[in-house]
Amino acid sequence: MQTSLTIPALPVEDGIGTFNFQRDRFTTADAALYIGASDQFLRSNNVSKRHNIPYVKVGRRVYYLKADLDAWLASNRVTFPAPV
C-alpha cells in the first residue's frame, strides 16, 4: 500500500520575511529547515553519501528538490506493527 507523506506549508520566519514551503527547489539552509535537520547534516551527506539524500549541483551551488526530499522522508519512515 502506497501512502503519501504530506507536510503542511507552515510559515516560518526567516529573519527577512516568511518562508514558504510551496517552492520546488531549496537551498541547503531551506532544505534543512524543511526536513527538520541542520545545515551540517545535509552538507556532510553530500560528502559521505551516508543518508542518500538526493541533491542537484549547479556549478558550486547545491539545491534540493522538494519532491526528492519528500521521497527521502517517506523512505525513512519507521512503522510499527499494530498491537495484537
Domain of 55, in residue numbers: 24-75
Per-residue pLDDT, 18: 54
Structural domain includes residue 43: yes
Structural domain includes residue 2: no
State pLDDT tens for residues 39-82: 999 999 888 788 889 999 999 999 999 999 999 999 988 988 88
Structural domain includes residue 46: yes
Structural domain includes residue 50: yes
22: which residues sit within 8 A by CB, 6+ positions away?
9
CB 55 within 8 A of CB 46: yes
Structural domain includes residue 81: no
Structural domain includes residue 70: yes
For position 69, which CATH number holds? 1.10.1660.10
Structural domain includes residue 36: yes
Would you say residue 17 has pLDDT above 90? no
The pTM assigned to this predicted structure is 0.68
Q: How many domains does the structure of the chain reveal?
A: 1
Would you say residue 13 has pLDDT above 60? no
